[in-house]
Amino acid sequence: MDSSRQASAQAAGVRLVSTAIVPATPEDATSIAALHAASWRSTYRGLLPDLFLDEEVDRNRLDLWQRRFELDEGSRPLTLKAMSGGTLTGFACALIDDDAEWGTLLDNLHVRPDATSRGIGKLLLGAVLARVREAGVSKRLHLWVLDANTRARRFYEREGGVESGTASVELIPDVHVAEVRYVFDAYVR
């Protein structure tokens, strides 16, 4: 947080907690899945069926994260978590050098709904881009975001993402959504 925002927060009586970005481990699968489900319920209400968000999203996200963390460490996607005051406040998951043309896929970046607009997403995105540079295998990072998720789209645009195509995907069984691809040059930021 820059010094002017920090001073404003302190003047308003807000307690500032530093955020650390660290690698996630298999022990984090349950907490990451819970945050992922909470983020979907908060962000995708009206975009995905209420029945799915109310009754199925927790199991759906837990299954995904258990599968991801069951992979051998060398095959596992890069998963970073944001920890603020000992609490999981966000995570990002990237498939390094996933696509020959588009580079690394940022498959997930979610911040706990009550912790948005605090710079956590920016920290996670920056950490993933740094890891892409360190890996030295791809020069670009791309991601897909729901077209209707205007808040996320504005975030990626502010952070330097360039819109580069659209697609219709089946996000969950029998539910198709429009998505927009954003591309980042991993060496510009």
Q: Nearest 5°: phi and psi at 75?
A: -100, -10
pLDDT of residue 4: 45
The span from the CA of 35 to the CA of 55, in Å, is: 15
pLDDT in tens, 44-79: 999 999 999 999 999 999 999 999 999 988 888 999
Average pLDDT value for residue range 138-161 = 95
Domain 20-138 belongs to what topology? Aminopeptidase (3.40.630)
Cα-based distances in Å from 18 to 99, 127, 187: 34, 15, 26
pLDDT of 153 above 80: yes
**DSSP label of 48:** B
Choose among 92, 86, 118, 73: nearest CA to 35. Answer: 92
Q: Work out the pLDDT band at 8, boundaries 50, 70, 90.
A: very low
Locate the domains of the chain by residue range: 20-138
pLDDT in tens, 75-99: 889 999 999 999 999 999 999 989 9
| Three-state DSSP state, 27 | helix
- Residue type at position 187: Y
| Spatial CB neighbours of 137, under 8 Å, sequence gap ≥ 6 | 96, 97, 104
